[in-house]
Amino acid sequence: MRKVILPVVIALFMFASCVSAPRYGVRDGVERIGIISAMSNEMKLLLDNADIDHVDRVGGFEFNVGKLKGKDVVIVKAGVGKVLSAAAAATLANNYRVVYAIFTGIAGGVGDKTNVLDVVVASELVQHDYGTMTRNEGFIWWPTENADDNGFYQCDYKLADIACESATEIMGSSRVFRGRIATGDQFIASESYVRELQDKFDALACEMEGAAVASVCKQYNIPIVVIRCMSDKADGLARESISNMGDIAADNSSRIVMRMLDKM
């Protein structure tokens, strides 16, 4: 009799575990705002002002779970580049009930419009380095597969409105822009390539994570906005400019996020 009962008990236990398992592995069921940055300095001010209840370590990422400006949040540093940022966004979506996503950080200004410490709130994003390298025609850009027909990822319009309003209150209207941000796995420090990004995509800023995170959020139906404060002009002086202005730009972007939370 024991030989019969034991397999039945094990089967019932496994069935109950499957039934009770939360969708997407949600850890606590609390609706949270997910805040993602690439680097430590981009999230330092947020963590300094947050009431962090605990830190979950999943897939090599640290998810800081708690409250910021009275809102339930989970804050994560993704790392630099499209692969790490997409992995962090997917892990975030699979482990928490994320109702909105905000990416905050620094970027390089593209073209004549944006200067150092200006802010760009993304209306849409594009992966500028996705395509084919040909023998005779050089690089030919392709729209990414899960983007819209024109190859762009749209940010949530209402979130972008709140971000622009918040940025204007923090920085002043003359320093706030709304438009396209170009994402690629290169640190851009080239005047000629900046001009290409401007001419080909009408981009206002370039960085290394935003479109990848927007791609994941689209897959999970999570509204997203990307906020970038310019640390440099993506030209030959980019690295020197980041050394001098990167932390200031990162803090400005974080202040905008906190003002957004006051309004949400």
> Is 230 domain-assigned?
yes
Which of 181, 262, 189, 175 lies closest to 232, judged by CA? 189
**Would residue 56 show up in a list of annotated catalytic residues for this protein?**
no
What is the rounded average pLDDT of the residues 254-262?
98
- Model pLDDT, residue 157: 97
- Model pLDDT, residue 11: 47
Domain that holds residue 165: 20-263
Q: What CATH number does the domain containing 214 carry?
A: 3.40.50.1580
Of residues 190 and 158, more confidently modeled: 158
The string of pLDDT tens digits covering residues 86-135 is 999 999 999 999 999 999 999 999 978 899 999 999 999 999 998 899 98
User: What angle do helix axes 238-263 and 40-49 make, rounded to 10 degrees?
Assistant: 30
> Is 2 domain-assigned?
no
The active-site residue, picked from 42, 124, 207, 209, is 42
pLDDT at position 13 over 90:
no
> Is 8 domain-assigned?
no
pLDDT at position 145 over 70:
yes
Q: How many structural domains does the chain have? A: 1
> Is 167 domain-assigned?
yes
> Is 26 domain-assigned?
yes
Which of 86, 211, 89 lies closest to 147, judged by CA? 211
Of residues 116 and 12, more confidently modeled: 116
**Would residue 191 show up in a list of annotated catalytic residues for this protein?**
no
Strands, DSSP E only, in the chain?
A: 31-37, 51-58, 61-68, 71-77, 97-109, 119-127, 131-134, 138-141, 153-154, 176-183, 203-207, 224-232
Confidence of residue 25 (pLDDT cuts 50, 70, 90): low
- Model pLDDT, residue 237: 76
The active-site residue, picked from 28, 232, 247, 251, is 232
- Model pLDDT, residue 3: 52
Cβ-Cβ contacts under 8 Å for 63 (sequence gap 6 or more): 55, 56, 57, 74, 75, 76, 91, 92, 95, 96
The string of pLDDT tens digits covering residues 213-241 is 999 999 999 999 999 999 988 777 778 88
